[in-house]
């Protein structure tokens, strides 16, 4: 009996385990790695990261005449700065570093000095002194008559795509306001987008030391070229301390940033901006070292700067839908995520990340049919095991009772002398039964009760006076002495 119950429960358990393991993902199957908090923060901020290219051009004005670059057919002297930035609102306000859009005159002279070094006209150690002399004694003017500053052009490249293909057509931006490096190193520019631009929020306050962060931007030196079609680089790290430079607050981070990332957002793991990449240690050649620390504009300073220019970083309905889609995607709700990203693309067709995540969610539709039912199957499987185990116990009790009932019925039919005792739970030993011949039964003589209920002998009689029995041949009653009458033959 016990072995039967064990086989029933074991078989049921095996069936339940098979049903559960059949629904679990196969080891080694093509499933996306579980995203880290840094990866999720990257997905939030990446749509709002932009690449900025600022170009200055001008002529040297000397004694009322304008002189161009003798090394470039007297074309205007020029210099270009490549930086990063982030979208503050869907209307096209963009935040970057102040040094990315200011200082055109110094950058032009610095660029020209490098040409002279390459030509051998001056030594590398003389660059600073030449630039300082030109800054003090020469003027740079633009093309327009009466201009006193070199011309400036700011091109903004948004990380957008059409049908999954990156697009690199810049939008021209106007400078709204800026603060130099000595005053906080932040600038605000404005573009007129064809579609609402994905924005990012500001953090509520200055982060505490140890807060994990992600610094984002397009790497490269200030004078180098960065391909705007490439995705921005993201460096992880944490807040090291709060510092001041010339009385201006900055936040120190231990993420390795480069000059091309200047102006790019630094966000917490919630995807909210704590500041922009500002400056870091530089080499003797004036290029920024790739060290694991740098400085970020202060959160409060950035917030005050934007408010003073009537800009409040807020999320649009489309931004919130995009974030909802990310949450659904990371929760394994791929059908719902695809619908959310589709809603985003209905408003912003060139949203590169919405296109990407919609495609990724669609590819994983089949996984959701398994993942969405997994919790229910696990509970059902566990319940089935409990029910089957309980059922096996019940079955054992029922079978045991039935067997006892059969034994009781058999006991009523089998004589006690034919039973074989069961000792210590061992089964009875079956022995061959030898038939016995019954002896002929001896029938006793029929006896009739007398008047007093005493049996009478077959050939005797009773005293007619007192009814006492007497034997054959007796003449007088042994009880009362009455004389027997002779028997009649």
Task: List the chain domain ranges.
Answer: 37-315, 320-375, 448-489
220 neighbors 314 (Cβ within 8 angstroms) = no
Q: How many CA atoms lie within 13 A of 213 on its CB side?
A: 35
Which pLDDT value is given to residue 394?
55
Task: State which residues of the chain have pLDDT below 50.
Answer: 1-2, 4-31, 221-226, 228, 283-284, 286, 395, 414, 416-459, 487-489
Backbone angles phi, psi at 473, to 5 degrees: 100, -15
Residue 480 CB contacts under 8 Å (≥ 6 apart), including other chains: 463, 465, 466, 468
Which pLDDT value is given to residue 420?
45
Which pLDDT value is given to residue 231?
79
Q: How many CA atoms lie within 13 A of 399 on its CB side?
A: 12
Q: What is the DSSP letter of 125?
A: G
Residue 184 CB contacts under 8 Å (≥ 6 apart), including other chains: 98, 248, 297, 298, 301, 302, 305
For residues 387-414, b (16+ Cβ closer than 10 Å) or e, as one string? Answer: ebeeebeebbeeeeeeeeeeeeeeeeee
N-term to C-term CA, the chain: 78
Cα 330 to chain center, whole Å? 5
pLDDT digits (tens, 9 = 90+) for 176-216: 999 999 999 999 999 999 889 999 999 998 899 999 999 99
Of residues 61, 79, 151, the one with CA closest to residue 115? 79
Range 37-315: architecture per CATH: Beta Barrel (2.40)
- The length of the chain in residues reads 489
Which pLDDT value is given to residue 478?
74
Which pLDDT value is given to residue 378?
58
Which pLDDT value is given to residue 481?
75
Which pLDDT value is given to residue 464?
73
């Amino acid at each position: 009996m016990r072995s039967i119950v064990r086989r029933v429960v074991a078989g049921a358990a095996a069936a339940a385990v098979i049903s559960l393991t059949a629904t679990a993902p196969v080891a080694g199957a093509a499933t996306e790695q579980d995203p880290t908090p840094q990866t999720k923060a990257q997905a939030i901020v990446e749509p709002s990261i932009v690449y900025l290219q600022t170009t200055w051009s001008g002529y040297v004005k000397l004694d009322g005449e304008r002189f161009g670059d003798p090394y470039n057919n007297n074309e205007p002297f020029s210099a270009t700065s490549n930086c990063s930035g982030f979208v503050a609102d869907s209307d096209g306000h963009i935040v970057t570093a102040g040094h990315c859009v200011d200082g055109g005159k110094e950058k032009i002279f610095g660029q020209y000095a490098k040409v002279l070094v390459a030509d051998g006209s001056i030594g590398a150690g003389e660059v600073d002194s030449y630039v300082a002399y030109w800054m003090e004694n020469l003027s740079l003017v633009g093309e327009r008559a009466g201009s006193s500053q070199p011309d400036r052009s700011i091109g903004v490249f948004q990380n957008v795509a059409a049908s999954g293909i990156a697009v690199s057509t810049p939008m021209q931006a106007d400078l709204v306001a800026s603060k130099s490096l000595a005053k906080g190193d932040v600038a605000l520019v404005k573009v007129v987008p064809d579609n609402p631009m994905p924005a990012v929020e500001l953090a509520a306050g200055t982060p505490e030391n140890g807060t994990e962060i992600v610094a984002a931007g397009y790497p490269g030196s200030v004078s180098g070229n960065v391909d705007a079609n490439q995705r921005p680089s993201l460096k992880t790290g944490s807040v090291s301390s709060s510092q001041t430079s010339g009385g201006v607050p900055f936040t120190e981070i231990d993420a390795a940033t480069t000059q091309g990332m200047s102006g790019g957002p630094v966000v917490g793991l919630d995807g909210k901006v704590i500041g922009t990449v500002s400056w870091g240690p530089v080499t003797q050649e004036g290029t920024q070292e790739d060290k694991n620390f740098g400085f970020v504009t202060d959160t409060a300073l950035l917030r005050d700067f934007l408010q003073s220019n009537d800009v409040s970083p807020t999320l649009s309905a489309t931004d919130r839908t995009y974030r909802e889609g990310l949450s659904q995607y990371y929760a394994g709700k791929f059908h719902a995520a695809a619908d959310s990203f589709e809603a985003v693309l209905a408003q912003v067709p060139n949203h590169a990340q919405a296109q990407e995540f919609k495609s990724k969610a669609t590819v994983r539709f089949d996984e959701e049919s398994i993942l969405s039912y997994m919790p229910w199957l696990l509970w059902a499987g566990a319940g089935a095991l409990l029910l089957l185990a309980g059922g096996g116990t019940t079955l054992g009790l029922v079978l045991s009772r039935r067997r006892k009932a059969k034994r009781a019925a058999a006991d009523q039919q089998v004589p006690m002398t034919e039973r074989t005792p069961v000792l210590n739970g061992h089964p009875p030993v079956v022995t061959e039964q030898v038939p016995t011949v019954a002896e002929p039964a001896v029938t006793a003589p029929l006896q009739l009760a007398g008047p007093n209920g005493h049996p009478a002998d077959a050939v005797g009689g009773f005293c007619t006076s007192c009814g006492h029995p007497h034997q054959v041949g007796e003449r007088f009653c042994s009880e009362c002495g009455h004389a027997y009458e002779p028997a009649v033959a």
